[in-house]
Amino acid sequence: MKKDVKTVLKDNTMVIVLILVYLFFTITTKGAMFLPMQFNALITQNAYVFILACGMLMCILTGGNIDLSCGSFVCTLGAIGGYLMVIKGWGTGVSIAALLVVSVIYGCVLGYLIAYVDVPPWIATLAGYLAFRGLGTQILSSNSSTGSIAPFPESFLKLFSGKIFSTKLNVLNVPCLVVGIVAVILLVVFSFRDRANRVKKGYDADPLGMVTAKVAAIGAVILLFAYKLAMAGGIPTVLIWAAVIVLLFDFITSKTTIGRHFYVVGGNKEAARLSGINTRMVMFAAYLNMAVITGITTFTVMARFQAANSTAGTNYEMDAISACFVGGASAYGGSGTVPGMLVGALLIGVINLGMSLMGIDANLQKVVKGVVLLGAVAFDIISKKKQK
Amino acid sequence: MAKILLEMKNITKTFPGVRALDNVNFKVEEGEIHALVGENGAGKSTLMNVLSGIYPYGTYEGDIIYDGEVCKFHTIKDSEKKGIVIIHQELALIPEMTIGENMYLGNEVGSKRNIDWDKTYAEADKYLKMVNLTESSRTKVKEIGTGKQQLVEIAKALSKHAKLLILDEPTSSLNEEDSQALLDMMLEFKKQGMTMIIITHKLNEVAYVADKITVLRDGATIETLDAHGPEKISEERIIKGMVGREMTNRFPKREGVKIGDIQLEVDHWTVQHPKYTERKVVDDVSIYVRKGEVVGIYGLMGAGRTELSMSIFGQSYGNLLNGTLKIDGKEIHLKKNDPADAIRHKIAYVTEDRKGNGLVLSQSIRVNTTLANLGGVSKHTVIDKDAEYAAAEDYRKKLKTKTPTVDQLVGNLSGGNQQKVLLAKWMFAEPDILILDEPTRGIDVGAKYEIYCIINDLAAAGKSVIMVSSELPEVIGMSDRIYIMNAGHIAGEMKASEATQENIMGLIIGRGQ
């Protein structure tokens, strides 16, 4: 199946929108948006969305189901973490394990209610949305007069925040650049090997020119990021976490039978069931996974703010949901990809960052964000309709 | 000669890349029932959409002359004003609303801001009587069966003062009894002077009601036959026009297939309705299939055929009260509500409802083909996309599925090709026992023939095939042995060579009293 330039562009509308928006802010901020610091900010400020949206995407794939409780759950988990580590003085490893156990328990309860009792996900997670915000705040206020718990132990902070091989600003960080170059080399090797394999076996393969262009474009972006991050002091630790999780979920959704089950359950639940797929187990797994992912997100958030407080995680669920939908996931389930979600999350992140740099009033920022999101998704849908 | 009520002249309609209608001419006389036949994709529905204004004036070439004047319909409302009412194949009623609300949907009685519900229901009841429905129009649509829903659609059409009624596959979701009642009603309307166009695949219905038959093929009118002419129009004659070649035998012969030992044996199988537990949907059914044998199960709608099939398939329907299942003489206990367990025991159930619970329309042919046997193309849960592609491609060629590529979304395929993908999915699961539930529902004559050939190949490969069907000629033509099912029971069993439509129906009527 040969694709012309036009279809390639239409398949990647959101990427083009992302680039245009980035350019727009670079111009309006007189280049401030292009400074190394802002690349660093883009990653550290949005890492929670990248991670959380991986879990959310799995839920959405099963049929447009969402988890409203994850933001509030971040608050409660953070409060428990603060209580354990700061007040009780538990070790970092034990505390992390304890928090993950709490996540798994919540995930099992939620998954059981949704998958086996057939409570609608909306309702089940709305309950968590309310309850966990209250519970987290309660734990915090009964253990601290200020309503926030700090400081977290250094070993915990180092694990989830800060930089690897940190150097000063505007001094080229060599390890960071090396990682970037290695990533590009791996990309080149895998892309061309994959294509060569397909050609050898006689399957449909994209033309060499297209593969080259794609690899060149993605490679250039990676190198740009690597360079900018290298100039901003090195690789943010949280980027490693986000990258590992994003790559893992990309692999699961695109390459494994488990991932396929999620798509099929979302596409046609009855057909999936009659094909021998345990649809209830898939629903259960989606929400158990979501809770664990929320746990990991909590660690990065606590480490970044270096404190547990009652506003932690506010609107995180909405950020994750928007990233998925802006990234092309279907609101009815059955379609959506991790790379798409990533582009969606970046687009939202870029808009946030750009407007802050421009010094736009916070209230107005929300208005603009709403309009841009709606516009971007509408544009995407319209251009796809025309394609048909 | 009677007055020509409708004439469609040189209608040409093109979609991007496709010429759906090519200079079609179509004439309907006042007071006749005119059948429009043709294979799927021949352009029947497109032609009717042009007529009813769904494709507005200007998007097609040619003229529509209705009741002596040239018409330019821009919306369905325009054509309805003239009395042209179309009843679509897929029922378009809203289950949660009452019959009355549905009948006057978009056509509300009273003023714009204030619907006159009393008048609505009174009017609706009047039209319901005309179609012999005794239900009150205040009944919710979900509470009546599909047969009655079809009648509501007709009542709805009548309420729009239809002069020319177009019925698109009106009996496709009805059982034989309801179909017959509907056809008789059409004849009744004809007596009262109504003109009707019926689109159907069922040629026995054409023979029963039609005065004229127009055959479409590949977007062009092939011929118009007169049912009351000097020459009797046989089904073979119509099929010849539809497919463009003589089809001397609609059911391919199965030759030299050795029928082996009993593979599947079901005894005293009794299944309870999942909700209304006092109802036994399948009652004390005992059947068996031999290797290489095609066993037909015939029954009217509601006889419990699908329920029996799904219950055998890992108890995916209802509660099993009693019964044993033996495979190759060994008793097997399949886990309740676990199709995966049935698949492991080499049983496949090919559903009658390919869109509802057979295929994932939003996914590609490739994904659907491997759905029931993902393990066959993966290692340690990682899917080998190349192997998957090869498998899908293999079945595309074997089953002659018409598609540019196996990456095509299943939702974009025609009914016959979707059915082939569904079959491919289950053949790829490599079952020994296949339960085919209405394998040729809603697909055209040519595709049916191909499906029959596939069934024969399966039998020749030593598979045990159970074919559930509500089409008598198909059951008789394709089976080695036939079970007749009625009201949850097996009403009889006979060799296909001894079966006739009369003695099968006789068994059902005899038992039904």
CA distances from A28 to A25, A210, A221, A229, A343 (A): 5, 33, 21, 22, 22
Q: Which helix (H) or strand (E) holds B319?
A: strand B319-327
Confidence of residue A91 (pLDDT cuts 50, 70, 90): very high
Over residues A83-109, mean pLDDT: 96
CATH code for A34-166+234-387? Answer: 1.10.3470
Task: List, as one string, the DSSP characters of B239-293.
Answer: HHHHHSS--S-SS----SPPP-SEEEEEEEEEEE-SS-TT-EEEEEEEEEEETT-
Chain B interface includes A252 (CB < 8 A):
no
Longest distance between any two alpha carbons in chain B, whole Å: 74
pLDDT digit string, tens, across residues B444-454: 778 888 999 99
Sheet holding B164-168, edge to edge: B84-87, B164-168, B195-199, B33-37, B212-217, B220-226
Average pLDDT in chain B? 88
- According to the model, what pLDDT value does residue B330 have? 94
CA nearest to A252, candidates A280, A282, A284 = A282
Confidence of residue B17 (pLDDT cuts 50, 70, 90): low
Question: How near does any CA of chain A get to the CA of B374, in Å?
Answer: 7
CB nearest B360 (choices: A197, A258, A264): A264
**How far is Cα B358 from Cα B354, in angstroms, rounded to an integer?**
4
- According to the model, what pLDDT value does residue B279 have? 83
Confidence of residue B512 (pLDDT cuts 50, 70, 90): very low
The interface predicted TM-score (ipTM) is 0.86
Residues of chain B contacting residue A257, judged by C-beta atoms under 8 Å apart? 374-375, 378, 381-383
Chain B interface includes A268 (CB < 8 A):
yes
- According to the model, what pLDDT value does residue B395 have? 95
Q: Is pLDDT above 60 for B419?
A: yes
Centre a 10 Å sphere on the Cβ of residue A213 and count the other Cβ atoms it contains. 14
- According to the model, what pLDDT value does residue A3 have? 59
Question: How near does any CA of chain B get to the CA of A335, in Å?
Answer: 8
Structure tokens at B334: 């399949």
Residue B481 exposed, middle or buried by CB count within 10 Å (0-12, 13-18, 19+): buried
Sequence-distant (≥ 6) Cβ neighbours of residue B360 within 8 angstroms: A263, A264, A267, A268, A271, A272, A334, B367, B368, B371, B410
DSSP at B98: B
pLDDT digit string, tens, across residues B328-361: 999 999 988 899 999 999 999 999 989 889 999 9
| CB distance A12 to A218 below 8 Å | no
CB nearest B316 (choices: A267, A272, A274): A274
CB nearest A203 (choices: B374, B378, B389): B389
**How far is Cα A376 from Cα A348, in angstroms, rounded to an integer?**
10
Residues of chain B contacting residue A258, judged by C-beta atoms under 8 Å apart? 381
Verify whether the Cβ–Cβ distance A264 to B381 is below 8 Å.
Answer: no
Sequence-distant (≥ 6) Cβ neighbours of residue A370 within 8 angstroms: none
pTM, to two decimals? 0.81
CA nearest to B36, candidates B473, B73, B470, B46 = B46
- According to the model, what pLDDT value does residue B509 have? 66
Verify whether the Cβ–Cβ distance B339 to A273 is below 8 Å.
Answer: yes
Verify whether the Cβ–Cβ distance B356 to A273 is below 8 Å.
Answer: no
Return the residue in A203, A250, A275, A388 with the most chain B beta carbons within 10 A, the one to mutate for interface testing. A275
Verify whether the Cβ–Cβ distance A201 to B386 is below 8 Å.
Answer: yes
Q: Is pLDDT above 60 for B102?
A: yes
Over residues B146-150, mean pLDDT: 83
- According to the model, what pLDDT value does residue A1 have? 45
**Residue B431, SS3?**
coil
**How far is Cα A351 from Cα A49, in angstroms, rounded to an integer?**
14
**How far is Cα B214 from Cα B227, in angstroms, rounded to an integer?**
11
Average pLDDT in chain A? 92
Q: Which of A5-14, A256-265, B219-228, B237-246 has the highest mean pLDDT?
A: A256-265
Over residues B229-241, mean pLDDT: 80
Over residues B388-405, mean pLDDT: 91
Verify whether the Cβ–Cβ distance A276 to B342 is below 8 Å.
Answer: yes
Q: Is pLDDT above 80 for B244?
A: no
Strands B330-332 and B319-327: antiparallel
Query: Which amino acid does the sequence have at B77?
Result: K
Per-residue H/E/C for B39-87:
CCCCCHHHHHHHHHCCCCCCCCEEEEEECCEEECCCCHHHHHHCCEEEE
| Domain locations along chain A | 34-166+234-387
Q: Which of A37-51, B102-116, B197-211 has the highest mean pLDDT?
A: A37-51
